[in-house]
Homo-oligomer: A and B are copies of this chain.
Amino acid sequence: MTVTIKDVAVHDVRFPTADAGDGSDSINRGDYSATYVELTTDGGPVGAGLTFTNGRGNELTCGAVTALAHHVVGRSLAEIADEPVAFWRSLTADPQLRWLGPEKGVIHMATGALVNAVWDLRAKVAGKPIWALLADLPTAELVRNIDFRHLSDALTPAEATDLLDRGQQGRDDRLAELRAVGLPSYTTSVGWLGYPDEKVRALTRAAYAEGWRAMKMKVGGALEDDLRRARLIRAEIGPESLLMMDANQIWDVPQAIEHMAQLSEVDPYWIEEPTHADDVLGHARIAAAVAPVRVATGEAAANRVIFKQLLQADAIGVCQVDACRVGGVNEVLAILLLAAKFEVPVCPHAGGVGLCEYVQHLTAFDYLRVSRSLTGRMVEYVDHLHQHFVDPVRMSSGRYQLPSAPGYSIEMKPESVARFSYPDGPVWR
């Protein structure tokens, strides 16, 4: 690991998805985009990372990567591996930049792109996919990569050590299982709000035929529309399949409780983002009211301190960590361990650009070393934009097949980066 990072290149890559209604929900409607980072090295491979955004404003996350880049340039992988928390804090606790967060929004999403690029580089140098690199690390090494500041009231290094040590037991059997059958998944491609009923029905039927037994729909429109679409999907998938609902934060707390009282008719498995992403206490109130329907959230949860509280307050029954909204692999490790301690399954957020590519690694590692269970674990799947990646996800019968190429599967094809670069790529000119 004598590889040294020489330079950080950042690309503003945007896909014109807004017009098609793909990705449309009660709050968001955008051009799926990536703040795409490449770390060039002195003779080693290129480290790739990205943070997903919704289009306009991608120049801000790109700008934030540039503002943080000097903490990365000139560092060797050996140095970073030697003092991982010091490296982490150089990015997250910069005495001038921290004011812009702390650890949230634009500045933290940029941190996620950079930190993930460093891990991609590290995995490529090791010749392993990230899930394997992490699963093979000694417990002490994994624990050393976590910043426990502001977590110690919920998770101590000793508790993390204990969880990860237990994760060594039976690991080979679990790995054999993953290699044989892949990772369980669910699809979000059937029920975007922008789709008419006929399209929802056709997509649901096709997904069921492909082997999907868990599907997610968007809610948060008029109650009667939500209910009609939910009945339509439930009729297609039968009573045994899982139907999840996603409100994308549109409701107030009392409204979420009222709407779910009606929507519970179709037996939803979870309600995702029922209210504002920051509202830990609100999620807790909703969770108590809608049980046994689970509350799921995480794609807009800013950092480990928010996840800590969601878990402490019994506010979530499903933890949907995002691979790049939080500050990358190091923070995801903390969140996986927190979720394991509080016995809440992690079903990571995916879709967008590259999120499926990222999170398959996280769930594989979680199963191998942390949760040791697949019960209630599913990786979100959306069938958009995979063609732009060098090592895209591979699906079979509604399951993710374990990736095998070294790295974090997040490297984009140079021709895609060039074609969709904003504002000068041919698609945008």
Contact partners of A97 in chain B: CB under 8 A: 54, 56-57
Closest to A52 in B: B99
Q: Does A300 sit at the interface, judged by CB under 8 A?
A: yes
| A151 CA / B151 CA spacing, docked (Å) | 28
Q: Does A81 sit at the interface, judged by CB under 8 A?
A: no
Contact assessment for A100 and B109 in the assembled complex, using a CB-CB cutoff below 8 Å = yes
Among the listed B106, B285, B313, which residue makes an inter-chain contact with A106, where contact means beta carbons less than 8 Å apart? Answer: B106
CB distance from A73 to the nearest CB of B (A): 15
Interface size band for A: 35 or more
Question: Within A55-70, which residues are at the interface with B (CB < 8 Å)?
Answer: 55-57, 59-61, 63-64, 67
Contact partners of A356 in chain B: CB under 8 A: none
Contact assessment for A152 and B254 in the assembled complex, using a CB-CB cutoff below 8 Å = yes
What 1/0 flags go to A15-29 for Cβ under 8 Å of B? Answer: 000100000000111
Closest to A301 in B: B278
Number of copies: 2
What 1/0 flags go to A96-113 for Cβ under 8 Å of B? Answer: 111111111111110000
Contact assessment for B300 and A106 in the assembled complex, using a CB-CB cutoff below 8 Å = no
Contact partners of A54 in chain B: CB under 8 A: 95-100
Interface 9-mer from A163-171, A304-312, A374-382:
A304-312
CB distance from A103 to the nearest CB of B (A): 8
Q: Does A53 sit at the interface, judged by CB under 8 A?
A: yes
Contact partners of A276 in chain B: CB under 8 A: 102-103, 150, 305
Given contacts A31-B96, A152-B252, A280-B309, 18 further A-B contacts (CB under 8 A): A28-B95, A28-B99, A29-B95, A29-B96, A54-B95, A54-B97, A54-B99, A57-B99, A59-B67, A60-B63, A61-B100, A106-B106, A151-B252, A152-B253, A153-B253, A153-B285, A279-B308, A281-B313
